[in-house]
């Protein structure tokens, strides 16, 4: 099992989660983070750290969130590892909790 970064991360891109990850499984894209499912050890440390509540266990994904499992795996191959916390984008509060952000994902 793995944890998955979902749509809530898009344009919020909080990095609180990367500081607690013991295996550096987070990867950073232009406006979202993803988790490499091959590296995630299911330790559960990242999930409560996300202010946007964007991280879920794959077992807890809704039907609408299922595509994010594949998306995380795909993008983790191309995006660099991130293991240090950074400031979120200046407009992160404006995007927090907004639905329908998948079309805004920058690859």
Convert the pLDDT of each residue in 66-100 to its tens digit: 999 999 999 999 999 999 999 999 999 999 999 99
Residue 95 confidence (pLDDT): 97
Give the pLDDT mean for 9-23: 98
In a domain, residue 23? The reply is yes
Instruction: Specify the number of domains making up the chain.
Output: 1
Q: Per-residue pLDDT averaged across 10-18, rounded?
A: 98
Q: Work out the mean pLDDT of the chain and round it to a whole number.
A: 97
Residue 70: inside a domain, yes or no?
yes
DSSP class of residue 72?
H
Phi-psi category of 17—alpha, beta or left, where left has phi over 0 and alpha has psi -120 to 50?
A: alpha
Q: pLDDT grade, residue 50 (50/70/90)? A: very high
Looking at residue 43, which CATH number applies to its domain?
3.30.70.20
């Amino acid at each position: 099992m793995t944890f998955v970064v979902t749509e809530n991360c898009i344009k919020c891109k909080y990095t609180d989660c990367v500081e607690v990850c013991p295996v550096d499984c987070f990867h950073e894209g232009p406006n979202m983070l993803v988790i490499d499912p091959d590296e995630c050890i299911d330790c559960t440390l990242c999930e409560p750290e996300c202010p946007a509540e964007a991280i879920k266990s794959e077992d807890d994904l809704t039907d609408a969130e299922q595509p994010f499992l594949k998306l995380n795996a795909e993008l983790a191959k191309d995006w660099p590892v991130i293991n240090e916390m950074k400031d979120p984008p200046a407009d992160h509060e404006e995007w927090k909790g907004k639905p329908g952000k998948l079309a805004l994902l920058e690859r």
